[in-house]
Structure 1
Amino acid sequence: MKKHYLLTLLLLFKVPAAWAQPKATGTVYHDLNKNNRRDAGEPPLAGVCVSNGREVVTTDRAGKWVLPAGDDVGFFVIKPAGYAPPTNAQQLPQHYYLHKPQGSPALAVRGVDPTGPLPASIDFPLWKQDEPGTFSVLLFGDPQARGIREVNFVTRDVVEQCVGTSARLGITLGDIVADDPNLFQEINESIAQIGIPWYNVFGNHDFNRGATHDRFSDETFERFYGPSTYAFEYGQVVFITLKNIYFNADGKYKGHFTDEQLAFVKNYLAQVPTHKRVVLLMHAPVISCDNRAELFRLLEKRPHTLSIAGHTHEMAHVFVDQKYGWNDATPHHHFINATVCGSWWCGTTDELGIPHATMNDGAPNGYSVLSFEGNEYSLRFQAARRPASYQMNLYLPDDLPRAELDTTALVVNVFAGSERSVVEMKVRGLTDWVPLTYTPMRDPGIAALQPLNKYLSQKVDGVGLDTVFGWEMDKPSVAYHIWKGALPATLPVGTHTVEVRTRDMFGQEYQAHRIFRVRP
């Protein structure tokens, strides 16, 4: 009897606690007149996913959703194909509601203001839009602006080139700024001039200094962009954005996915048909994350996946296999994107005062264009302020003694090449096409710039030359998109043209040439 009495008391205490768990509710509706208010006659939207960053629910026939709440939760609608959320003046999607009754903690840069009590209804308007099966996305990696001067570099070097693009949306893959979230507004205003909806990923340089816990590291990011983990759909493609920069208590970070994020991915993918392409967006490369295997378990059985990151200031295609913990027989394609800032806006400046910013792997700074046809995709690199055809550098002396032909190699850096690329060369009018050998190595051009550093580190009249001519470059890294080949030893004396052609893993072909002389 005593045991039953104690059990009854425990149940009485537990049940009210469950009843008291706060819940958020709201409606997703078709905003016919696009005024961001639900007016009479505007229909609900059923079957739309809504999340709190962990759980994912779908709206019922009345467009209603209910999710657990807390004192620091971002609720967001997952844009379904054929619809769009409103965007603000900076072209940033307004697909979320932040619930922070007390606001962000005191930080050097303001976070989210107190939101007050949970609203009676959190409603998400969506607009109908045409979404063709064939579309493109602009991918910016690491604009990483230090001060308004470098915001202007981003604007002049890359943004102006993108105005008039046919891409349907754009994504910045983190490190929007360089440790100063105060600059979010300025860089948003510049990128908005492209004129397309723009999504953003959190990077390690976008954090709030002085945050006492990882959960507070993205407070200013949230003020501008909303939750740092979210998803949206376009056509036959599902995009999942993950904050994989995790800050420890000592302020240092690592690549890591939280339990909440992994639960979100699992719960959301349960709603996604397997014929759709799942694209994961993150800042640090997935292969650098300490618990990537847990994420891989959620993806391995899906036939159409892709993941994209930035962070390294180099470009690379990684085919993730068992060596990295991927268990499926078909490797997962992970693309590490080029950076807008290249090598952190380093290098000597040009006639416009903009650094050449060549990345450490010898590729120029720039961005990528991700294109889809249904659920199939391709990637194309675009160098800053260069024509689309500029896809490689050829290294060969201008003048060669004939006796050195048999010991001289042509080196080709195909900026967005991979181990699956085919690269060939021929000497015009004299030889047929011959394959070059895939040879990861340091780029000769970026290595040749290193001697400039000793001059840039000097001062004249107390002024550092690097502040006048550009910052010193980092040491070159090994580039995994370089090929080599020997010149024919029988070339006659005279002026020749060597031609190079490449075909990438998507079947895209590019050509370049180099003129050189053979001396007696």
Structure 2
Amino acid sequence: MKRFFHTLVALLLLAACTDGNNELGSKDPFSIPDKEGCNVKGTVFDDYGTPLEGIVVSDGLQTTQTDRNGHFWLSSDLSKRRFVTVTVPSGYEIESKEGLPQFFDRIPEGSTSFSTEFRLRSRRGNSDRFTVFMVGDPQIRARDRGYDKFAYHSIDMFEDMCRDMNKLCATMTDRPVYGIGLGDLIHEDANMWEIYRSGVKTLSFPMFGVIGNHDHDTKAPTDGEAIRPYEENIGPTNYSFDLGRLHFICLDNIVMKGDGAGGYSDGLSDEVYTWLCNDLKYVPKEKMIMICSHSSMFGKPGKDPVDVDKNGRLYAQKLSEYKYVHSWAGHSHINFNKVYSKSGENRLSNIEGHIVARATGALWLNEWVCSDGTPRGYYVVDVDGEKIEWHYHPCGNQLGVSNGLGDDYQMRVYSPSDYGDGYVYANVWAWDALWGSVLYTDNGPNAVAGRPMARIESYDKAYKECCDRSNSKPGNLAKEEFKPDTNVKHLFRIKPSDGATSCTVEVTDRFGRRYSASLDWDSASTSDMAL
């Protein structure tokens, strides 16, 4: 938020007052009266200097709303609270500085009281339509550190990602664009914050942040101290904002153990859960929510976070009261989507969980694919009112050179010889339970068109080839990281017809977009396109 020059705003407000019944006409709007028991106070106003009523303000634990004079008060433990944040309403712009959104003010260390103000600039044009890039785990690491350079380097892939997002953003001239980094922005090295921020500075849109386990100070004695480097470089770890008709929540769901070795557990600490409840009490139940965390809060391969994470069942119950909830996360370095209404679990039917693959490729290898075969990239979420659609966008650069991948690349098909079992495999990385069947047609003389492929769990052949290539290099050991996952959830297979030598695989996503990939087994070349 840009700060108004006090005298100018006061003059504007005084000039706008026309009768003595307006309290603002007889007092300095920045002379906020003290309130007993409160040590934090402030004002929120618009770009004309008009006080804004009903704006939600928080110290990271407690929340309150501004009164009709735009004033707010909080009783805060300033030995623990480091920010005052404002939940920017949908009718106002989210200002940014060097690519980082500015919706907060820092509380100086050692303060016993604090006063601040926020200026919100009115949004021009339709606020209901916008796009969000959901980015998982860039996890950049110093060039002179071990690992992280077996194929490509994470810093180079991060720079590719920034170039790609800017290129894509430039095509979206009819709506605002935002980004959300879903944690593990760096890898346990405070010197990397400068490089991360340098990349964000080049972006042509605001980039919000979520703290990941590797963004913490792993040597810190407490969870509260472990978040300090992130706070110093990015900002608050728990905050919310409104875009269009949606309420966005970004929070810290990594609880550090303070063991000096980076140990942590997933879930919401009691403090973060309290903040979440305090934020939601001002959100109407008919609102749709986008909640962003590092580790998935809803749905993972294996045990569900709702059942095993700290305060999981409490936050699930709280969020189940709202119209619809989309949970976005990284951490697992793979693509995974769970639609509870289609899971057969008879619970949380208003919630979906989305895990986003690592934007810079498989960990340490930083190859063109992640460990589940998803290409390096990010999700593009298009919003128009309450209509939310998304697709996975492969990064189109490799060391600054175009790799030819685009939005039509949504699956990879493997010939019967690739896995050695005579089956044709298809990896459809953004698949979820609301997609149509994956349909297979080949050129066999007695082929039946449009046979559905069966979903199975196995490894992805392209990633296995990357692992094998890296492990074959002199001096490289076959570390656990360089072994393919064997439980990829978006893999399909089918037996080809007798005499077939080529095939086409088609699938329609949940939004009606059809994708096709054709494979000639002799040339082993895949042709992918959106229909």
Q: 1:100 to 1:137 in 2, by over 3 A?
A: same
Gap runs ≥5 in structure 2: 1-34, 145-152, 298-303, 397-404, 524-531
CA contact (8 A) 1:247 1:253 kept: yes
Q: Which of structures 1 and 2 has the bigger CA Rg?
A: 1
CA contact (8 A) 1:409 1:485 kept: yes
Deviations 1:289-336, CA, capped at 9 Å, x for gaps: 232111011111212111011001111002347999x87462621000
CA contact (8 A) 1:277 1:376 kept: no
User: Residue 246 of structure 1 corresponds to which residue in structure 2?
Assistant: 255
Work out which of the residue numbers 449, 452, 458 in structure 2 matches 1:441.
458
What SS does the corresponding residue of 1:196 show, helix, strand or coil? coil
User: Residue 29 of structure 2 corresponds to which residue in structure 1?
Assistant: none
Distance 1:455 1:86 in 2: 49
In the superposition, the TM-score normalised over structure 2's length comes to 0.78
Q: 1:443 to 1:471 in 2, by over 3 A?
A: closer
RMSD: 2.9
CA contact (8 A) 1:398 1:517 kept: no
Distance 2:190 2:65 in 1: 34
Deviations 1:125-177, CA, capped at 9 Å, x for gaps: 11112343222100110000002684642344211111141261000000000
Matched, 1:185 2:220: no
Distance 1:279 1:388 in 2: 23
CA contact (8 A) 1:345 1:357 kept: no
Amino acid at match of 1:195: S
CA contact (8 A) 1:418 1:480 kept: no
CA contact (8 A) 1:203 1:243 kept: yes
Aligned 1:110-509 pairs, distance under 5 A: 116-119=111-114, 121-130=115-124, 131-147=126-142, 150=153, 152-164=155-167, 165=169, 166=172, 168-251=177-260, 252-286=263-297, 287-288=304-305, 289-320=309-340, 328=347, 330=349, 332-346=351-365, 355-385=366-396, 386-397=405-416, 408-421=422-435, 422-427=437-442, 431-456=448-473, 458-459=474-475, 473-491=482-500, 496-509=501-514
Amino acid at match of 1:255: D
Distance 1:242 1:266 in 2: 12
What SS does the corresponding residue of 1:481 show, helix, strand or coil? strand
CA contact (8 A) 1:246 1:253 kept: yes
What SS does the corresponding residue of 2:100 show, helix, strand or coil? coil
Q: 1:369 Cα shift?
A: 0.7
Equivalent pairs: percent with the same residue?
A: 25
Matched, 1:30 2:46: yes
User: Residue 90 of structure 2 corresponds to which residue in structure 1?
Assistant: 81
Amino acid at match of 2:187: A
Q: 1:331 to 1:479 in 2, by over 3 A?
A: farther
Gap runs ≥5 in structure 1: 1-18, 33-41, 103-115, 347-354
Q: 1:22 Cα shift?
A: 4.4
Q: 1:376 Cα shift?
A: 2.7
CA contact (8 A) 1:27 1:124 kept: yes
Q: 1:321 to 1:295 in 2, by over 3 A?
A: farther
CA contact (8 A) 2:325 2:350 kept: no
Deviates more, 1:470-479 or 1:192-201: 470-479
Amino acid at match of 1:423: V
Q: 1:472 Cα shift?
A: 7.1
Amino acid at match of 1:193: T
Deviations 1:378-400, CA, capped at 9 Å, x for gaps: 22111122211111110104799
Amino acid at match of 1:303: K
User: Residue 43 of structure 1 corresponds to which residue in structure 2?
Assistant: 50
Distance 1:399 1:257 in 2: 43
For this pair of structures, how many residues does the alignment match?
450
Amino acid at match of 2:351: H
Q: 1:373 Cα shift?
A: 2.1
In the superposition, the TM-score normalised over structure 1's length comes to 0.80
